[in-house]
Amino acid sequence: MNESNTATGNKVILGCQISLLLGFYVFVSGVFTFLWYAVYRAFAEHDNPAAHAVILASVITFAFIILTSVVTMVFTTIIKEGQRKIVGNGGPANGSKI
């Protein structure tokens, strides 16, 4: 229990948690890049009907925006509150509301 209460231990854990969130953002931006590059190619190469690419890219972008919003909202709230508890009470497990 003591390890998690030290300042550095805490910072490392917080760093891991934030990098989880950032990793997710990297993945989502990868998906967006793939989709919109495909749309660009569909127009540039005149090879396949661009309608398919545009429709799919729009729908999937919309879906991923929802997913990203949910993840951001949940992650940031939980992490922030958790940090507040750590600063306030010396550990998220020590004491709790209600």
Partner 1 sequence: MEALKPDRGPGKESMITGSRDEILYQPILHTGRGFYVVFALLSLVVLIAAYAYFTQFKYGLGVTGMNSPIFWGIYITNFVFFIGVSHAGTLISAILRISKAEWRRSITRSAEVITVLVLFFGLGNILIDLGRIDRLMKVIVHGRFQSPLLWDVVSLTTYLTASSIYLYLPLIPDIALLRDRMPRGFRKYLYEVLALGWAGTEKQIHYLEKGIAIMAVTVLPIAVSVHTVVSYVFSMTIQPMWHSTIFGPYFVAGAIYSGIAAIIVAMAILRRVYHLGDYFREVHFNYLGILLLVMTCLWFYFTFSEYITVFYGAEPDEIKVFFEKMTGTYAPHFWIMVVTCFIIPFTILANNRTRNIRGTVIASISVNIGMWLERFTIVVPTLMHPRLPYETGVYSPTWVEWSILAGCFALFTMIYMIFTKLFPIVSLWEVREGREKAQAEVTERLRTYLPT
Site residues, partner 1 (CB under 8 A) = 1, 3-4, 13-14, 16-17, 20, 27-28, 31, 34-35, 38, 41-42, 47-49, 52-53, 56-57, 60, 63-64, 66-67, 70-71, 73-75, 77-79, 81-83, 85-86, 92-93, 96-98
User: In sequence order, which residues have a C-beta less than 8 Å from that of residue 43 and are 6 or more positions away?
Assistant: 50
Q: Please state, in angstroms and rounded to a whole number, the distance separating the CA atoms of residues 39 and 41.
A: 5
Helix runs in 1-98, H state only: 2-5, 7-45, 50-89
- Smallest gap from Cβ 85 to partner 1, in A, equals 4
- Smallest gap from Cβ 8 to partner 1, in A, equals 13
